[in-house]
Amino acid sequence: MSAAVLAAPSAERRARMIALIQSRGAIGVLALAAIIASLRFPYFATANNFENIGTAASFLGLVAIGQTFVIILGGFDLSVGSLIGLGSVLAAYSVPYGWLPALLVPALAGCGIGLIDGLLIARAGMAPFIVTLAALLGVRGLALVLARNSMVIAQPGIFGLIANGQILGINNLIWILLIGFALAALVLNRTRFGVAVFAIGGNEEAARMLGVPVIRVKVITYMLSGTLAGLAGALLGAHLSSGLATAGQGEELKSIAAAVIGGVLLTGGVGTMAGALSGVLLLGLIQNVIDQIGNLSSYYQNLASGVFLLLAVLVQTVLTRRRA
Amino acid sequence: MSAMAASRGRLAALAERAGHDSPLALARAHSVYAAFAVLIVIDLLFTPGFRNVFVIRNLLFAAAPVILVTLGQSLTIGTRGIDLSVGSAMGLAAAVMALALAGGAWLAVAAGVGAGLAVGLINGGLVAALDINPLISSLALLVAARGTAEALLDGSRVSLPEGGLFDVLGIGAVSVIPIVAIIAVIVAGLVAVMVRTTVFGRSLLFIGANKAAAILAGIKVRRTLLLVYAASGLLAGLAGVFAAARLGASDPNYIGVNYELDAIAASVIGGTPLSGGRVSILGGVAGVLLLQVLGASFIMNDINFSYAQILKALFIVAALYLQRAGG
């Protein structure tokens, strides 16, 4: 009997330990990878290189915020990559009317697509996977039609400064990435909306019975994801000073990968913004390191990312089973 | 005697009811054929040059590999899974085939198909043995297999030798019908028969309808799932070989890109619901042809191809809505 009493807390401690690895493991791996990379490559740990990684990760980062909300809700958003393309094209068209429309029009367009997705998923009860897959195809088509299959050249001005300027010596895009994630973590953990997202992802039926406005929360979550993707597209347009209808292809999958690597469970109801940010940065770090290994073909980047994602999922699966 | 007659009457009534589904269910089951027929009639009437045999032949050449990956996709969706890796498996198959050219065309083709099978086996192993969500295992393979294909050929295009087997697959045709299309249709027929009549086919649908019940009923769930994903990879390998032969080259950046999306779209439009438990092979083939003809119609009418993509999206949503309404 005393053995059983003693065993109970240790089992509980083990479960807590595993939960900690699941939610914070990616941060540890990121730190470890960064240390190894800085020992191995002299150029890696320079301010210049960190800026490169951060800037390149910012577009994926914004999208990953929305994707994380959607996955915790128990869904997917495959439309975000195409929305980056649409966003950059719309930004290029709107920039003659000022920098504000150039940011707002893409964000609103993304919001609108998210609204349609959300209504079809939450109200009509269609599978998120296929609804957002249709949006992926349709939005890309729309972007190509609007850009007439070619590049739209934007006049940057203040708009370009938003994406390429600096505040306190740090690139604006990195500020946007960090502030975006901080705000998202606040919303996810400290607001009623965040609690509702977790509740629906954990057990939708129970959430409904507890009085959570399931349909409204779902629609808002998809609108949020769409808005962020449109905004990411606008920033990409500002960064490249052009609207590229084909921009953002594959980002939807990368953002899901980043979230999963960061410990966001595809079954819904579990995940952290810090984890998702670690996933985004890890993917960026892999790309950066492979770029620095001069004789290694850049094609190995996809291979490495894919294997890395698999390993992350394997570890997650094993840990989840241990915990149960 | 009268009891037997009564039961026979009841059976007849049941059979009659089964034959007379609600109009909505009928629309759901046959909408893809109706849409295809309408599109063909419109094209025959209004699209200049649509009757040209070269156009039809080209369409069928393009459709053959999509049909193959759609077959595999429908099977995985039937088990309530998904296979995002098929496009990259095509690319990898073409790349491996290019590397194995020294051993002769037949060996190269076999190596390519084998590469596709290998992707399918890894995917199936992850799904069946380790219980990993097929969406994420096949997503990882989508990224990794494409990377491997690019790394193997260093990102460059490798031309295939002219003549022999590659000409048979790339340009060979019996009058209007390409040989690859004939092969694809035969494979589709085999898959359809397999789903309807074999224990394996019944098992995969059972798993899709209710996995827990399938386990309790003694169905070999793991083995069935492994075989389903292996089949999807094998078919993708063959599709990669077909696509490369048509192109006359193995291009790791081009072959199979976005085919997984077309395959999923064709399956869903063809009446294979994502909720699993039901597969429509004939519908899937019709879905592929519908999407191919749709794209061609826009190009031939000099309308921006991107509009076809928007219309494709609307088709998917409409098909899905019909499925939902039918239960």
Residue matched to tokens 């790309």? A287
Q: What was the pLDDT predicted at A324? A: 58
Please report which confidence band the pLDDT of residue A77 belongs to, taking 50, 70 and 90 as the band edges: very high
How does pLDDT run across B253-288, given as a tens digit for each residue?
899 988 998 899 899 888 888 888 889 999 999 999
Run of H or E including B268: helix B259-269
Q: What was the pLDDT predicted at A154? A: 63
How does pLDDT run across A210-243, given as a tens digit for each residue?
888 999 999 999 999 999 999 999 999 888 888 8
Closest CA to A271 of A256, A283, A285: A256
B168 CB within 8 Å of a chain A CB: no
Q: Please give the average per-residue pLDDT across B142-157, as a whole number.
A: 88
Q: Best interface-test mutation with A: which of B76, B154, B306, B324 has the largest number of A CBs within 10 A?
A: B306
Please report which confidence band the pLDDT of residue B319 belongs to, taking 50, 70 and 90 as the band edges: confident
Dist CA A80 CA A255 (whole Å): 9
Residue matched to tokens 């209007």? B176
Identify the closest residue of chain A to B126 by CA–CA distance.
A314
- The CATH number of the domain holding residue B167 is 1.10.3470
How does pLDDT run across A48-60, given as a tens digit for each residue?
788 888 888 899 9
**Binary contact (A141, B313; C-beta < 8 A):** yes
Q: Is residue B7 part of a domain?
A: no
Residues in chain B: 327
How does pLDDT run across A192-214, given as a tens digit for each residue?
999 999 999 888 888 888 888 99
Contact, B293 vs B315, CB < 8 A? no
Q: What was the pLDDT predicted at B38? A: 85
Closest CA to A197 of A179, A225, A220: A220
Q: Please give the average per-residue pLDDT across B86-104, as a whole number.
A: 93
What are the tokens at A46? Answer: 């320079």
Q: What was the pLDDT predicted at A166? A: 78
Contact, B116 vs B236, CB < 8 A? yes
What are the tokens at B285? Answer: 């083939």
Closest CA to A38 of A287, A292, A261: A292
How does pLDDT run across A129-150, given as a tens digit for each residue?
888 888 988 899 899 888 876 6
Dist CA B97 CA B241 (whole Å): 7
Judge whether residue B62 has pLDDT over 90.
yes
Which residues fall within 8 angstroms of residue B53, CB to CB, at 6 or more apart?
A: B176
Judge whether residue B246 has pLDDT over 80.
yes
Contact, A275 vs A262, CB < 8 A? yes
Closest CA to A221 of A201, A247, A206: A201
pTM for this entry: 0.82
Residue A31, SS3? helix
Q: What was the pLDDT predicted at B82? A: 93
Closest CA to B263 of B241, B285, B296: B285
Angle in degrees, CA A102, A108, A114, rounded to 5: 140
Q: What was the pLDDT predicted at A113? A: 95
Judge whether residue A316 has pLDDT over 90.
no
**Owning domain of residue B195:** 23-325
Contact, B78 vs B279, CB < 8 A? yes
Distance of residue A299 Cα from the nearest chain B Cα, in angstroms? 5
Run of H or E including B307: helix B305-325
Contact, B283 vs B271, CB < 8 A? yes
Residues in chain A: 324
B141 CB within 8 Å of a chain A CB: yes
Run of H or E including A167: strand A166-167
* Lowest mean pLDDT, pick from A145-154, A306-315, B61-70, B240-249: A145-154
Cα distance from N-terminal residue to C-terminal residue, chain B: 39
What are the tokens at A121? Answer: 């998923």
CA A6 to centroid of chain Cα atoms: 42
The sign of the dihedral angle between the CA atoms of B185, B188, B192, B197 is positive
* Lowest mean pLDDT, pick from B8-12, B132-136, B227-231: B8-12
Residues of A with CB under 8 A from a CB of B: 76, 120, 124-127, 129-131, 133-145, 148-149, 253, 256-257, 260, 266-267, 297, 299-307, 309-310, 313-314, 317
Dist CA B225 CA B250 (whole Å): 30
Of A134, A260, A313, nearest to B317 by CB-CB distance is A134
- The rounded percent of chain A whose pLDDT value lies above 70 is 93
Please report which confidence band the pLDDT of residue B13 belongs to, taking 50, 70 and 90 as the band edges: very low
Contact, B226 vs B117, CB < 8 A? no
Of A126, A134, A138, nearest to B324 by CB-CB distance is A126
Q: What was the pLDDT predicted at B324? A: 64
Phi/psi of residue B139, nearest 5 degrees: -65, -45
Q: What was the pLDDT predicted at B121? A: 96
How does pLDDT run across A5-35, given as a tens digit for each residue?
555 567 777 777 777 777 777 787 888 888 8
Which residues fall within 8 angstroms of residue B197, CB to CB, at 6 or more apart?
A: none
What are the tokens at A125? Answer: 């009860």
B155 CB within 8 Å of a chain A CB: yes
Q: Is residue B12 part of a domain?
A: no
Judge whether residue A4 has pLDDT over 60.
no
Dist CA A31 CA A279 (whole Å): 12
Q: What was the pLDDT predicted at A116? A: 94
Phi/psi of residue A191, nearest 5 degrees: -120, 165
Pairing of strands A242-243, B158-159: unpaired
DSSP tag of B185: H
Q: List A153's β-bridge partners, or say none.
A: A242
What are the tokens at B216? Answer: 């309790």
Closest CA to B157 of B145, B148, B149, B146: B149
Q: Please give the average per-residue pLDDT across B224-245, as a whole number.
A: 96
Residue matched to tokens 């295809």? B36
Judge whether residue B65 has pLDDT over 90.
yes
Q: What was the pLDDT predicted at B286? A: 93
**Binary contact (B126, A310; C-beta < 8 A):** yes
Q: Is residue B249 part of a domain?
A: yes
Q: Where are the alpha helices (DSSP H) in chain A?
A: 2-40, 47-72, 80-94, 99-122, 128-146, 158-164, 172-190, 192-202, 204-209, 214-240, 251-261, 273-292, 300-323
Residues in A closer than 8 angstroms to B313, CB to CB, are 134-139, 141
Which residues fall within 8 angstroms of residue A212, CB to CB, at 6 or more apart?
A: A196, A199, A200
Residue A168, SS3? coil
Dist CA A268 CA A29 (whole Å): 23
Residue A203, SS3? coil
Identify the closest residue of chain A to B275 by CA–CA distance.
A127
Contact, A226 vs A62, CB < 8 A? no
Q: Is residue B17 part of a domain?
A: no
What are the tokens at A321? Answer: 């089973």
Q: What's the domain count of chain B?
A: 1
Judge whether residue A317 has pLDDT over 70.
yes
Contact, B181 vs B289, CB < 8 A? no
Q: What was the pLDDT predicted at B95? A: 95
Judge whether residue A155 has pLDDT over 70.
no
Q: Is residue B9 part of a domain?
A: no
Run of H or E including B181: helix B179-197
Closest CA to A251 of A129, A136, A105, A124: A136
Q: What was the pLDDT predicted at B12? A: 46
Dist CA A253 CA A234 (whole Å): 20
CATH architecture of A24-323: Orthogonal Bundle (1.10)
User: Using alpha carbons only, how large is chain B's radius of gyration in Å?
Assistant: 21
List the domain boundaries for chain A: 24-323
What are the tokens at B96? Answer: 């491996």
Q: List A166's β-bridge partners, or say none.
A: A171
Contact, A47 vs A298, CB < 8 A? no
Distance of residue B40 Cα from the nearest chain A Cα, in angstroms? 23
Angle in degrees, CA A4, A5, A8, rounded to 5: 80
